[in-house]
Amino acid sequence: MNFGYYPGCSLQGTAKEFDLSLKEVLKVLDVNLNEINDWCCCGASSAHVMSHILSVALPARNLLLAKHRGMQNVVAPCAACYNRLKVSQHELKFDEKMRMKVEEILEEKISNGVEILNLIGLFQKIGLGKIKTAIKINLKEIKAACYYGCLLVRPHDILKFDDPENPSSMEEIVSIIGAKPIEWNYKIECCGASHSIDNTEIVEQLSKNILNDAIKHDANVIVVACPMCHSNLDMRQKNILKKYPQQKAIPILYLTQLLGLSMGLNYKDLGLHLHYINPVPMLEEKVKVEEVTI
């Protein structure tokens, strides 16, 4: 199976373990990713704040590159990239004026048609059945709080992905691999991602609420599919723990890492050592594996 690939900036930097684990897992499922040549940043949470056109034009360039490579579909594991690409594609399709402006900027005609997939969408395309066959290790001790955040489910009328108020597609995958998804209240609450740098205290507050609700509903791990969510819940959790002594720590894993674990891949290949909140102690306790190397 082949898919176009748009890693996005985060997966090359702060979220490189997301990239690592994704590739490892896809190796097992023998799915092959072709990275878009010379792709650029999608503008993330900044472009649309400063210039509407810019926020459409940057993703448009990447979609064109994909088109030139004859790609039918593009996987954007980063929820922010996925969101920006989708929204841009939508506006170019339905907003004539916008399309003409952007064509003028890119000096190129824009033709729609590349299918954009987020991480969960990718696994659904590969087939949950196929994933099931690759399971080696029992994760039944893992109680996972699946966290979607904003960018995977909103705006629904453009993304058309899952139920915006009560998504369940990540839970499906998690239970396929034998872990227990938990019922909780914060799976679509915002972590304040875009303020990670400029309003850290706000982000810490919001992240703390999310962490606590997961812990309260006795999750032992929070599963995410978005680098921004991850950096807020993982990196920021460090400070939160410092500030609030009685706060319990909870590891944050990418969905791909959890999948990798169930497939018996080793911690290092999955980049588990790159987290701020070390998941290994929890995993050693909950997951029955022979060799634990880090």
Partner 1 sequence: MRIGVFTCHCGENIGRTVDCPAVSKACADFPGVVHSEDYKYMCSDPGQNLIKQAIKEKNLNAVVVGSCSPHMHEKTFRKACSDAGINPFQVEIANLREHCSWIHDDVPSATLKAIDMMRMMVEKVKFNGPLTPIRVPVTKRALVIGGGISGIQASLDIANAGYEVILVEKEPSIGGHMSQLSETFPTLDCSQCILTPRMVEVYQHSKIKLMSYSEVENVEGFIGNFSVTIRKKARSVKDELCTGCGLCVQKCPIKKVALSEFDEGLATRPAMYVPFPQAVPNIPVIDRTICTYFKNGKCQMCKKVCGREAIDFEQQDELVKEEVGSIIIATGYKLYTIDKKPDDSPIHGYGEYGYGKYKDVVSGLQFERIASASGPTSGEMLRPSDKKVPKKIVFIQCVGSRDEAKGFSYCSKICCMYTAKHAMLYKHKVHDGEAYVFYMDIRAGGKMYEEFVRRAIEEDGVKYIRGRVSRIYQDDGKIIVKGEDTIAGVKVEIDADMAVLATAMMAQTEAPKLAQTLGVPYDKYGFINEVHPKLRPVETSSGGIFLAGACNSPRDIPDSVAMASAAAAKALVLFGSDMLEREPVVAKVNEATCAGCLYCKKVCAYNAVEAKEIKDRNGNLIKVVAYVNSGLCQGCGTCNATCPSKSVELLGFKDDQIYAQINAFAEV
Partner 2 sequence: MHHTTLNPIVQKIIDVTSQDTSLCYQCGKCSAGCPLRDFMEIPPNRIVRYLQLGLYDLALTSSTIWLCAGCQTCSSRCPKNFEIAKLMDALREISVEEGIQPKDKKVLKFHNAFLKQIKKYGRSFELGMVGDYKLSTGNLFQDLGLAPETLMKRKMGFRPHKIVGIEKIQKIFDKSMKRDTK
User: Which residues contact partner 1 (rule: CB under 8 A)?
Assistant: 156, 163-166, 185
- Cβ-contact 162, 152 below 8 angstroms: yes
Q: Which of 103, 115, 172, 189 binds partner 2 (CB under 8 A)?
A: 189
Name 215's Cβ contacts closer than 8 Å, sequence gap at least 6: 248, 250
Q: Of the two residues 72 and 185, which places its CB atom closer to partner 1 in the complex? A: 185
Q: Which does 14 bind (CB under 5 to 8 A by kind): partner 2, partner 1, none?
A: partner 2
Q: Of the two residues 164 and 264, which places its CB atom closer to partner 1 in the complex? A: 164
Positions of E strands within the chain: 2-5, 32-35, 73-75, 115-117, 143-147, 180-181, 221-224, 252-254
Tell me the CB-side half-sphere exposure of residue 152, using CA atoms within 13 A.
29
- Cβ-contact 187, 120 below 8 angstroms: no
Of the ranges 110-118, 168-176, 215-223, 231-239, which one interacts with partner 2 (CB under 8 A)?
Answer: 231-239
Nearest distance in Å: CB 12, partner 2:
7
- Cβ-contact 119, 148 below 8 angstroms: no
Q: Of the two residues 66 and 146, which places its CB atom closer to partner 1 in the complex? A: 146
Instruction: List beta partners, residue 73.
Output: 115
Q: Which does 268 bind (CB under 5 to 8 A by kind): partner 1, partner 2, none?
A: none
Nearest distance in Å: CB 166, partner 1:
5
Q: Of the two residues 12 and 185, which places its CB atom closer to partner 1 in the complex? A: 185
Q: How far apart are CA 125 and CA 6, in angstroms?
A: 17
Q: What is the gyration radius of the CA atoms in the chain, in angstroms?
A: 19
Amino acid at 191: C
Q: 């921004």: which residue's tokens?
A: 228
> Rounded to the nearest 5 degrees, what angle is found at the Cα of 129, between the Cα atoms of 126 and 135?
100
Q: What is the x/- site pattern for partner 2, positions 270-289, by CB under 8 A? A: ---xx-x-------------
Instruction: List beta partners, residue 33.
Output: 3
Q: What is the x/- site pattern for partner 2, positions 30-59, by CB under 8 A? A: --------xxxx-xxxxxxxxxxxxx-xx-
Q: Which does 46 bind (CB under 5 to 8 A by kind): partner 2, partner 1, none?
A: partner 2
Q: Does 134 bind partner 2 (CB under 8 A)?
A: no
Nearest in space to 185 (alpha carbons), one of 210, 207, 221, 150: 210
Nearest distance in Å: CB 186, partner 1:
9
**Which residues of the chain form contacts with partner 2 (CB under 8 A)?**
9, 12-16, 38-41, 43-55, 57-58, 61, 95, 104-106, 149-150, 154-156, 164, 188-190, 192-195, 197-200, 202, 206, 235, 238-239, 273-274, 276
